[in-house]
Amino acid sequence: MDYFIQKRKVFLMDENKINPIPANEPEAEQELPADEKVVTEDSEVIEQNDESTVQETEEEVVSEESTQNDETETEDADYFSEEAEPEFIVEEAPAPKKKKSKGAIALLVILVALLLAATVFFVSVIMKSTASQRIDHDEIAVTVGDDEITVGEYLYWFAYVDAYYYNYYSYYYSQIPEEQIKSDTLNQLAHTSALYNKAVAAGYELSDEDKAQIDENMQGYTQAAEASSVSVDDYVAKNFGKGYTLEMLRTYLEKQAVAYKYYEDVMTGIEDDFKKSDVEDNVEKAYNANKSMYDLADVVYCYFDATDENAEKNANAVVAAIKGGKSFEDAIKAVKGDAESISDSLTGLYKDAISANFNEEAAEWIFEINADGNYVNGKGAATTLEAGGVVYVLYANNAPARNSFIPVSLDFVQINVSTDDSIKSEDELKLQAKSKANTLFAEFEKTDKTAEAFAEFAQKANADESGLVKALSEKDIVADGSHDGAVEKWMAEEGRKAGDYALVEGEDGAYYIVFMTAVSENPVWYNSVFNSLLQAELKAWEDEFIAGYEDKIVSDDEVINNAVTAFKQISANAQ
């Protein structure tokens, strides 16, 4: 079965990219995913003499920030984009020990992204440190039971945590308490240590392939040393402090890798066992118990300025007209004359999104459930409410319903029409884009038409010098009106499967060469409930695991505080 589960947020590492980044490598700029419109028809080439008319309509709606654990996500990623690379630093700090007991610690605190970037802190920023800022990394900073964790290892993880907050919350980074970063670092390394011990006890060890990957990544330090015109040993001694060696870094990476392999196997085992259970029945029961979490509203509304003395009267008149048999639009026109200028929609939104971004009272009315488990306000129901200086009329087209959209994943090449009409007419520019699209489509059809072939084709197309061709990839998207209508029509056709492709003329004027990389076997609501249940199973294991270690953590706060102070000082010096 294809569950389209959001993969667990492993707190360890990506085996294919285990640091470090050379000091002279520029920091990549991180791009936020952008909503892209897509469209398609059949896999027939569009005739070059066809006329294309385009009308793009953008409708402003309440932004949906649903708190559903496993809502489908759209990722528009340029084939050549890279994760932003953060930086890291350390400094000197001796100190006596102070015992400290930590509370419950969250196993999945840090995303994989941390582990893809932060070692650059060790490589680039420390290059600017002075002798007085270096510390002895062999000093013990934390103990977890019988395990002693050095300052070097603590700061290794501090780099990841700090990088995570900096990269993903950069605008609010200055507002994040330093104690939170320290605490998350402590939790992270404590869990790594505990998982590593479990892995070793279970006989886990690095494969030759794992070792080769680590060797390859360690070459980054050699490259950094060469860029600085010093030997690797001198580079490490100069930039990481007295007693710090390249082998220490290798040790951290190896420990990380072994712990990750064990954790991933445990999580996979739990997931496999869960899939073998009575999943269908459990999902249905969980849905019925919390249906308002998973259903979508189908409600429209109109509004009147509350400063108008007739606002409430007009709102009540609209409701009365609806109850008298008029449609929502006709009821508004009967009172106000113009329905479009004062009406909008909440259709397709979840309860949490409506409550957070529109009005909590409205959300409660829309999703009210009676003792029998049925929605109270179904088709044709209407009410008024006042909030924020506005009097609203809510009208239910239908009761809330399950999100039955089928998620799909698409790779596509978008060919835009040039807007430079200084030389050619608009019609000529459209024909030019159509010709380009047909030419590219013909090139793809010469391949073996696999996902890999399309990815390679897309990379090549993305390099087009005109700037009008863009290769994108979107995962777990649905035909909910957020993409170009032609593309959504194509992707929602019955029988659509992975491997399907087409050249589509979009309603927005662009042309799309689309390749379907995946199609879920289940709708969004099912995937969301399933994932919630699975996450509960995973969390149960995590909670039990944590319980065995939370009282065994002892940190030397003075050593840690001094080291972190050094981190901040060197970071400031590197600006």
Give DSSP secondary structure letters for 404-420: -PPPEEEEEEEEPPP--
What contacts 298, CB < 8 A, 6 or more positions away?
Answer: 347, 348, 396, 397, 398, 399, 400, 401
State how far the Cα of 255 lies from the Cα of 383, in Å rounded to an integer. 61
Per-residue pLDDT at 567:
64
> Of the candidates 304, 370, 400, 316, which has an alpha carbon nearest to the alpha carbon of residue 343?
304
By the 10 Å C-beta count (0-12 exposed, 13-18 middle, 19+ buried), 1 is classed as exposed
What contacts 56, CB < 8 A, 6 or more positions away?
Answer: 37, 507, 508, 509
Judge whether 513 and 440 are in contact, CB under 8 Å.
yes
State how far the Cα of 399 lies from the Cα of 468, in Å rounded to an integer. 44
Q: What is the pTM of this model?
A: 0.65
**In the chain, which stretches have pLDDT less than 50?**
1-132, 573-575
- β-strand partners of 513: 413, 503
State how far the Cα of 212 lies from the Cα of 221, in Å rounded to an integer. 15
Rounded (5°) CA angle 400-489-481 = 45
State how far Cα 7 lies from the chain centre: 11
For residue 375, the 8-state DSSP code is: B
Phi, psi dihedrals of residue 417, rounded to the nearest 5°: -85, 130
Tokens of residue 441, six digits: 């489509």
Residues written for the chain: 575
State how far the Cα of 455 lies from the Cα of 314, in Å rounded to an integer. 57
Exposure class string for 390-412: b at 16+ Cβ within 10 A, else e: bbbbbbbeebbebbebbbbbbbb
Amino acid 429 reads L
**E strand spans, 366-467:** 382-387, 390-396, 401-402, 408-415
Helices (H), ranges, 228-341: 232-240, 246-276, 279-289, 291-294, 311-323, 328-335
Q: Collapsing DSSP states into helix, strand and coil, what is residue 74? A: coil
Amino acid 198 reads K
Helices (H), ranges, 142-177: 151-168
Q: Collapsing DSSP states into helix, strand and coil, what is residue 299? A: strand
Judge whether 244 and 5 are in contact, CB under 8 Å.
no
